[in-house]
A and B are shown apart, each in its own frame.
Chain A
Amino acid sequence: MHQENTTDKIDKILSQIEKGKRDSEIIDVDEKKIKLVIFTAGKNLYAFYGSGIKEILPFDKINYVPGCPEIISGIINVRGDIESVIDTHVLLGEKKPNATERSRIILASAGGVTSGFFVDSVEDVIDIPESDIAPPVSTIEEPIRLFISGETVFNGHYTSVLDIEKIFRTIAE
Chain B
Amino acid sequence: MSHHIVVIGSTGYLGSRLIPRLVERGHTVTAVVRPGSRAIAAQGCRVVQADPLDKASLTPHLHAGDTVVQLVGVPKPAPWKGPQFRAVDLVAGRASIDAAQAAGVDHFVYVSVAHPAPIMKDYIAVRRECEDRLRLPACVRQSSGPGISWAPAPGIATGVSPHGDDTVYA
Whether A associates with B in a native complex is no
Chain B residues with CB under 8 Å of chain A are: none
Binding site for B on A (CB under 8 A): none
